Amino acid sequence: MLSRHIDEIRALPLFAQVSEASFRDLTRGAYVQNFPPRAELITEGDPADFLHVVISGCIEMFASWQGRETSLFLLGPQDTFILAATIKDRPYLMSARTLEKSRLIMIPSEDIRAVFERDSDFAKAIVSELAACYRGAIKGAKNLRLRTSSERIANFLLKEYHAHGAQERFALDFEKKRIATFLGMTRENLSRAFANLRNHGVQVDGNEIVITDLDKLIAFARPDPLID
């Protein structure tokens, strides 16, 4: 089960530098599991029994309080969760659910902590991963608090544009509902914001995007390496 994925796991940044022995210790108790869409993987408040690594699919991290719910992150292949809870041996602060059919590796938290204690290369990898997660969280907070929804979409489209080889015409990789979640707004407001972008060099037809005026879009979006 696990062996079919050994190589891709080994290549993940978190494991690339650890010794062969440590890697065996980490994978011995680990297993790979497939989940259907909309499966709740972990629930906030539960003890952090496993570190999860996404192999394929799409995971939403969210949190609830008093019947309200907010989406905090969207994760894809190679992302991990929730490292901080695993390390500190504290309860999860977030819940996770699949948005589509997904495959994950689950590694017992005790194994993570044990290897962390004695393999300094693994400890370094963890620090690097944690620091990256932290900076990602800060960037997300800035994106949300400093920009309007139209500005967030404009920057999102610029990133997609470059991810598609700077083609002026491309298709969105996700359904709009998911993009709305990802950008922290409702799908109604996403629609309105897309409509609004017609004034800023973007044509939208279904999930076909045409950048009609790149300079205008950039002038509106003002992408910033300290946020994006």
Partner DNA sequence: CGATTTACTTGATCGAAATCAATGGTGCGA
Partner DNA sequence: TCGCACCATTGATTTCGATCAAGTAAATCG
Among 64, 186, 207, 212, contact with a second copy (rule: CB under 8 A): 64
End-to-end C-alpha distance for the chain, whole angstroms: 37
Residue type, 210: V
Among 3, 36, 165, 188, contact with DNA (rule: CB under 7 A): 188
91 binds, among a second copy, DNA, none (CB under 5 to 8 A by kind): a second copy
Q: Among residues 67, 66, 115, which one has the least CA distance to residue 87? A: 115
Query: What string marks each residue from 16 to 55 as x (binds a second copy by CB under 8 A) or -?
Result: ----------------------------xx----------
Q: Among residues 164, 153, 132, 142, which one has the least CA distance to residue 195? A: 153
Judge residue 14's burial from the number of C-beta atoms within 10 Å of its C-beta, 0-12 exposed, 13-18 middle, 19 or more buried: buried
Nearer to a second copy, 70 or 186 (CB): 70
At 37 the three-state DSSP class reads: coil
Q: Is 84 in the site for a second copy (CB under 8 A)?
A: yes
Question: What is the total count of residues that contact a second copy (CB under 8 A)?
Answer: 46
Query: By CB under 7 A, what part of segment 30-49 binds DNA?
Result: none
> How far apart are CB 213 and a second copy at their closest, in Å?
20
Q: Within 13 Å, how many C-alpha atoms sit on residue 194's CB side? A: 22
**Residue ranges binding DNA (CB under 7 A):** 148-150, 175-177, 184-192, 194-195, 204, 206-207
